Structure 1
Amino acid sequence: MLALMLLALVGCGRLPVKQLDEAERLAGQARPEMVECARDDACAIDSALYALGEQALAEATAEAPVHRVLLLEGGEDALLARIHLIRSARRSIELQSFIFAEDDAGFFVLGELLDAARRGVRVRVLLDQLFSVDDTRLLAALATAHANFELRMYNPTFGKASTGPLEFGAGILCCFRRFNQRMHTKLLLVDGLIGITGGRNYQNRYFDWDSGYNYRDRDILVAGPVGAKMRAGFELFWTHERSVPVARLNDVAAHLLAHGGPPPLLPAPRLTRAGRILRISQAASDPEVVQARLIAPSLAVGRVDYYVDPPQKHERGRDPLYEEISHRLQSLVAGAEHSVVLQTPYLVLSREARQTFRALRRRENAPEVLVSTNSLAATDAWPVYALSHKYKRSYLRDLGFDIREYKPFPADAPIDLAATGALDAEVAPSGVPLTDAPTAFGSGARGGSGATGSGSGSMRDGPLPLRRAGVRVGLHAKSIVIDGRVGIVGTHNFDPRSDHYNTENAVIVHDAAFAAALERVIRHDARPENAWLIARRPKPPVLSGLDYSIGKAFEKLPLFDLWPLRYATSYELVEGCPPVRPEHPRFAECWTPAGDFPEVDLRLKGFYTRLVTAFGAGLAPIL
């Protein structure tokens, strides 16, 4: 009954096909066609980075491919690269994203895309609808911005741009599978020549621009012949029936029909710190900055593969090979000989992934498996962490993982503290002055709203409450290094959701120098100053075998996993001690237990986490 009532309510917003056709016609008529540049290159900026891509393409052959690749570890470098590439585009730009926020970073990139369209570049933007722009007035204006600018939404809930609480609930109740089939694919591609993909969406916290919580993320920039495969992958989505032109979304179409077309002007962007936009804007067109930050650190490599899950992954009765990324990654891991270095924000493995790692563990000379992931204090998704917590014993003993959980205030993270705005004497978006500015992570910076919590001083405005305030960092990078010879950067979280619900994409670089560079940064994130070691907790003085057996039995239960003494806990390195492994005789001397959930205010999230651990195993594929 509830599902029927919700469907009836949300169904009231659906427009007849004739009205959607009329809205699309109005939008098409309103789009200006005049371009601001008559040159063949659309007045693109001179770019040495673009020239490297052209050189790679010219030198490459089918037997001996040539590419240029660059790891984008810092948030502002990742934004700088995007702006520079958009300005260097001569013919086309394709952008795909899971999230596109209406904040400083989002409006900055959007403005650059519109400028490119007006100077003569064909710009196509495809966004997953659920967590992207949902301002109907803004979307109506974008639907009519320029003939060279096209915007589509993937899998819109009930055919709308905005998903309110009713639509969200109805989507879960009536259309659970369809509602969860999200386009997690991320790509920026310029002229089919240079592409960027990886973990980053378009939102302040992915580019070091949030004053309270930022992602330690990673992208890869790749230039060369693999760009043709990237464009082919984009076309699969762009032409699919789930990709809906924004003028045909019910709420946007209603706005266009009600006003006889678009609003006269684009709504003014809501910016919080325009100064940093100007700074990156200037740097993006500075040849010396581009040389130092984007060209000098890049590597010349040979073979680069690009794989993408097509939209057909979401169709019932599909060929299992449509789960392209998952099969490729499992095959590469299965072929590892001495090491697998894995970085994922969400350590919840699918059944197939468990089988792959279990087979590795059973080998006579089992490869090392280092896993860099989030702690509860650092994650943006504590229910997911709760399921990871549930299976720690299995990960450590059965699969042989060496697990390092990222700290919310790492000693050495590639986050530019000054860029976050927490040091500025400005006003935060809430209007509360940012005072008590920190000099380092976790030393007194205010949260996202500029206010601290009450009582014990816990911060209440971030993803979860902590015992102290500060500019926090959460891991969001998704990468694998196999045997120091193959490096993988992409969007796949190596979890059941990425395996079965989301579409994903990944770049696989077959080059030892690149793999070594990627492994080096992941192992740096796993160092004791940046991450807690996860290992078996000290054995109880009596009945340790019984405790282990009961805990193992409870772990198998999908419900009522209530045994309070978990197998594993977090450890902090004692100052002056070497970071020895758990099997080393000096382990107890050099590592001290830090508790199950270090830094977390246990009054709330610790309780919730234990609750999901006890009752939420069935949610693993969705979370």
Structure 2
Amino acid sequence: MWHALVLASALLASGCASLSETQRAEVSRIIDTERPTALDCDAADHCAQPSALLSQVKADDPQHHALIIDAGQDALMARIHLIRAARERVDLQTYIFDEDDAGRLVLRELIAAAHRGVKVRLLMDQLTAMKSARTLAALAGVHANFEAKVYNPVFNKGNLSYTDFAMATLCCFRRLNQRMHTKLLLIDGKVGITGGRNYQDDYYDWDAEYNFRDRDVMLSGPVTAEMAANFDAFWQSQRSVSVADLRDVAWVLRNEGVPALSTRPYDHPDRAHEMQQASNDAALLSERLGSRIRPVEGVSFVADLPQKHKRDESAAREVVAPSTHVLYGLIDSAQEEVLLQTPYLVLSDTAQELFESMQERAQPPRVVISTNSLAATDAFMVYALSHKYKRRYLRRFGFEIYEYKPHPQASPIDLVATRSLLTPEESSEREEALSLLRQKRREAWNSSARREYLVQRRLLFGSRGSPIPLEKAGVRIGLHAKSMVVDDAVGVIGTHNFDPRGDHYNTESAVIIRDRAFAAELAASIRGDIAPANSWVVAPRTRTPILPGLNYSLLKISEQLPLFDLWPLRYATSYEFVPGPQCPLPLRIGDPRFYDCYRAVGDFPEVDIGPKWFGTRVLTAFGAGLAPIL
């Protein structure tokens, strides 16, 4: 055992080693020799595309302007347009930057901006910073105006192998678990975009299997100086490492020189071309973006600092990690209503204590939660933990929980852009294939047919389909927006999921706007997501079949178990609104007529998971012990 630990320590030490001075000098020489410095433009404005979004921002103007961006296509169009309109600099900070169509399109726009003279800085979290060391090596020498860094590179590498992950989990899980979840695009220090979106197809309606219903806010005004200062704090942090200083990237540079950036064609060239054209269309930009920008008051940008990840916790948490402190303070200030939207309903101990204390008030505020159903979520295990505590959420915290459907009837998702729409004939064939697939699934549990079932399911749903099969085929939508409205007066859009990860492990940011008109618009957007066409409502069951009192007591005992929660008869289930003459409008849970207007649809509606007892046991077999990593 001792020898194994010594060997592991030796491997770890070698894996964490940084480049030697000789290696660093060699890499620097290669980059300086091969990196282009010539510009494609000699104009004073660096051939920036004319932009009404930027031209309306005046220097020293104290007025803030804001735009809620719900639609994924609008979010991508705004980013590309603003990058093209940049005259001086572009700062981009993100958790995920993929090499799919959306990622490549944005990256190529950033590089084009650098070639025309704009200073570009790209900061990515290591966990999801491109797919290969070769791509990072290409970025290291793509142009003198382009700089790329990776945040918190465990083992000083740009990409971690499965072996690296295993080793990091054993040796330095705390650091591996500390991620930069902050997201920001800042153009010329004048206009910023922040919110839930990363750089990947499924954030912009470009995935044929699964897309996120997400939300950003575009902002101009004095607060952008705070955004710039926060970006600089991360850029200058010791945890932000230039890609050329990463061991795997340096190996590519030293052995191959600066590789050419991939010229791989887009998976859907027509769609990429349409987006490129739209980003130049002044009329379309005005209709979709410019005309909807509104002046707002009371704007602040609250963002964690890299010091949140320091081992020394002596600094006040509200200083280095203000996002959690400020957001929970806003919730606590509520007098009438908290409207909260989060993809993952898993609460830290601090949050649970907060909501419980609010419920003990003489007149507790209404707390409305918009979150994912099992059928819609991209995080199966996180939902399992949320499911475990439904009784607590409803009884002790007074939550009204609405769970997003995987196929909402009215969402800001452009299904045409996903390239997933089928002709009537294709749809019929797909439904027939799905029916056969269900039959094979039933046969597969105890037979050699399981392999065939898995192959056919992959063909039908794709490699990125639901972690569990659904009753209906077609592109799936999952909630990813992180937003809040307090007392119809304060609106919040940011990156914080209001969960333990956001509290303790990730760096987060949020825009807070104390403006009733803005709050009303944001509230309307969230209320649209919880409408019956888009969400189920979670409510207590009308009765339990066996000794209700005993069942409730056993459920509470099972819920307290630290890891396993196997009691199958749950306190609550999902309900669907059934409109009619006596039920013209949706009702709140607790209304005397609620059960007359809603029908139970099961704990996991639209999930084709087999017998309910089996699904329940599988989903609730994981409990509070998983909270730190979820």
Question: How far apart in 1 are the matches of 2:482 and 2:574?
Answer: 22
Matching of residue 33 in structure 1 with residue 43 in structure 2: no
Structure 2 Cα separation of the partners of residues 414 and 315 of structure 1: 39
Match of 1:17 in 2: 20
Aligned to 1:622: 629
**Per-residue CA distance 1:106-141 (angstroms, 9 max, x = gap):** 000000000100111100000001112032222211
Would the alpha carbon gap of residues 162 and 541 (structure 1) be closer, same or farther in structure 2, given more than 3 Å must change? closer
Deviation at 1:560, TM superposition (A): 3.1
Residue equivalent to 2:299: 304
Look up the match of 1:63. Answer: none
Give the fraction of aligned pairs with identical amino acids, expressed as a percent: 51
Q: SS where residue 113 of structure 2 aligns?
A: helix
Corresponding residue for 1:46? 50
* Aligned match of 1:342: 340
Indicate the residue corresponding to 1:113 in structure 2: 110
1:43 to partner: Cα distance: 1.2
Contact 2:384 2:622 in 1 (8 A): no
Give the AA of the match of 2:93. Q
Cα distance in 1, alignment partners of residues 459 and 578 from structure 2: 27
Separation in 2 of the partners of 1:5 and 1:380?
A: 38
Which residue of structure 1 aligns with residue 578 of structure 2? 574
What is the one-letter code of the residue matched to 2:218?
A: L
The alpha-carbon deviation at position 11 of structure 1 amounts to 5.8
User: What pairs up with 1:69-80 in 2 under 5 angstroms?
Assistant: 69-80=66-77
The farther-off stretch of 346-355 and 607-616 is 607-616
Q: Secondary structure of the equivalent of 2:329?
A: helix
1:593 deviates by: 1.0
Aligned residue type for 2:303: V
Residue in structure 1 matched with residue 426 of structure 2 by the alignment? 436
Are 1:587 and 2:598 an aligned pair?
A: no
Question: For 2:309, which of 314, 330, 353 is the aligned residue?
Answer: 314
Comparing 483-492 with 571-580, which one deviates more in the overlay?
571-580
Correspondent of 1:387 among 381, 385, 391: 385
**Offset at 1:508?**
0.5
Partner Cα distance (1:219, 1:191) in 2: 19
Measured at CA, do residues 33 and 456 of structure 1 come closer, stay the same or move farther in structure 2, by a change above 3 Å?
closer
Which of 267, 282, 288 in structure 2 is aligned with 1:287? 282
Larger mean CA deviation between 542-551 and 287-296 belongs to 542-551
Amino acid at match of 2:54: Y
Structure 2 counterpart of 1:478, one-letter code = K
Range that drifts further, 271-280 or 511-520: 271-280
The Cα of 1:561 is off from its aligned counterpart by 1.9
Q: Structure 1 residue 246 and structure 2 residue 243: aligned? A: yes
Per-residue deviation, 1:225: 1.0
Q: What SS does structure 2 have at the residue aligned with 1:621?
A: helix
Q: Evaluate the alpha carbon distance shift between residue 36 and residue 204 of structure 1 in structure 2; reply closer, same or farther with a 3 A threshold.
A: same
CA distance in 1, matches of 2:249, 2:283: 43
Match 2:140 to one of 143, 150, 167: 143
Displacement of 1:383: 0.4
Q: Is the contact between residue 370 and residue 402 of structure 1 (CA under 8 Å) also seen in structure 2? A: yes
Conserved? CA contact 1:75–1:208, under 8 Å: yes
Task: Tell me the distance in 1 between the aligned counterparts of 2:310 and 2:432.
Answer: 46
Match in the other structure for 2:92: 95
Whether contact under 8 Å (1:20, 1:250) holds in the other structure is no
Q: Which amino acid aligns with 1:248?
A: D
Q: Which amino acid aligns with 2:556?
A: K
Displacement after TM superposition at 1:351 (Å): 1.0
**1:110-509, aligned counterparts within 5 Å?**
110-259=107-256, 261-263=257-259, 265-318=260-313, 319=315, 320-321=317-318, 322-423=320-421, 436=426, 454=456, 459=461, 461=463, 462-464=465-467, 465-509=469-513
CA contact (8 A) 2:493 2:512 kept: yes
Kept after mapping to 2: 8 A contact 1:341/1:481: yes
Give the counterpart letter for 2:466 in structure 1: P
- The answer to whether the Cα contact below 8 Å between 2:93 and 2:123 also exists between their aligned partners in 1 is yes
Q: CA deviation at 1:28?
A: 3.2
Change (3 A) 1:133 1:551: same
**Structure 1 residues 458, 35: closer, same or farther in 2, change over 3 A?**
closer
TM, length-normalised to structure 2: 0.91
Q: Per-residue CA shift, 1:525-564, capped at 9, x if unaligned?
A: 0011110110111212552122112211221221332211
- For 2:523 and 2:547, the matched residues in 1 are separated by 41
Moved more, 246-255 or 455-464: 455-464
Task: Quote the residue 1:430 is aligned against.
Answer: none
Give aligned pairs, total: 602
Amino acid at match of 1:599: E
Partner secondary structure for residue 127 of structure 1: strand
Deviates more, 1:76-85 or 1:12-21: 12-21
Q: 1:277 to 1:457 in 2, by over 3 A?
A: closer
* CA distance in 2: counterparts of 1:494 and 1:3, whole angstroms: 38
CA-CA distance at 1:285 after TM superposition:
1.2
Structure 1 position 401, deviation (Å): 0.4
2 CA distance for matches of 1:483 and 1:316? 37
Deviation at 1:592, TM superposition (A): 1.1
1:599 CA displacement? 1.1
Report the alpha carbon displacement of residue 172 of structure 1 after superposing the two structures with TM.
0.8
Q: Distance in 2 between matches of 1:234 and 1:499?
A: 20
Task: Answer with 360-369 or 20-29: which moved more.
Answer: 20-29
- Cα root mean square deviation, aligned: 2.7
- Judged with a 3 Å threshold, the aligned counterparts in structure 2 of structure 1 residues 250 and 39 are, in CA distance, closer, same or farther, namely same
Residues 17 and 415 from structure 1, CA distance in 2 versus in 1: closer, same or farther, beyond 3 angstroms? same
The answer to which of 613-622 and 168-177 deviates more is 613-622
Distance 2:599 2:612 in 1: 23
User: Aligned partners of 2:27 and 2:494: how far apart in 1?
Assistant: 37
- Which digits, 9 at most, give the CA deviation of each residue in 1:402-424, with x for residues without a partner? 00000000111110000001138
Aligned match of 1:516? 520
- Residue identity opposite 1:400 in structure 2: G
Tell me, in whole angstroms, the C-alpha distance in 2 between the residues paired with 1:324 and 1:310. 8
In structure 2, relative to structure 1, the CA distance for the partners of 1:207 and 1:443 (3 Å cut) is farther
Task: Check 1:308–1:457 CA distance in 2 against 1; reply closer, same or farther (3 A cut).
Answer: same
Structure 2 unmatched runs, 5+: 438-452
Q: Is the 8 A contact 1:220 1:489 kept in 2?
A: yes
Partner of 2:57, secondary structure, is helix
TM-score by length of 1: 0.92
State the Cα deviation string for residues 57-79 of structure 1 (Å, max 9, x = none): 4431xxxxx11100110000000
Q: C-alpha distance in 1, partners of 2:145/2:433? A: 48
For residue 347 of structure 2, give the secondary structure of its aligned residue in structure 1.
Answer: coil
| Structure 2 CA distance for aligned equivalents of residues 389 and 233 of structure 1 | 36
Unaligned 5+ runs, structure 1: 61-65, 426-433
- Residue 442 to residue 435, structure 1, CA distance change in 2 (3 Å): closer
Q: Distance in 2 between matches of 1:581 and 1:255?
A: 60
| 1:76-96 deviations in Å (ceiling 9; x for gaps) | 000000001101111110000
Structure with greater proportional helix content: 2
Partner secondary structure for residue 266 of structure 1? coil
CA contact (8 A) 2:209 2:461 kept: no
Do residues 564 (structure 1) and 571 (structure 2) align?
no
Contact 1:422/1:437 (8 A) holds in 2: no
How many angstroms apart in 2 are the aligned matches of 1:530 and 1:326? 29
Instruction: For residues 128-173 of structure 1, give each alpha carbon's deviation from its aligned partner in whole angstroms, at most 9, with x where no partner exists.
Output: 0111203222221110011100000001121111111100111111
**Partner Cα separation in structure 2 for residue 29 and residue 592 of structure 1:** 70
**Corresponding residue for residue 440 of structure 2:** none
Q: Tell me how far apart the structure 2 counterparts of residues 11 and 255 of structure 1 sit (CA, whole Å).
A: 21
Q: Aligned residue for 1:428?
A: none
Q: Which piece of structure 1 moves more, 120-129 or 315-324?
A: 315-324
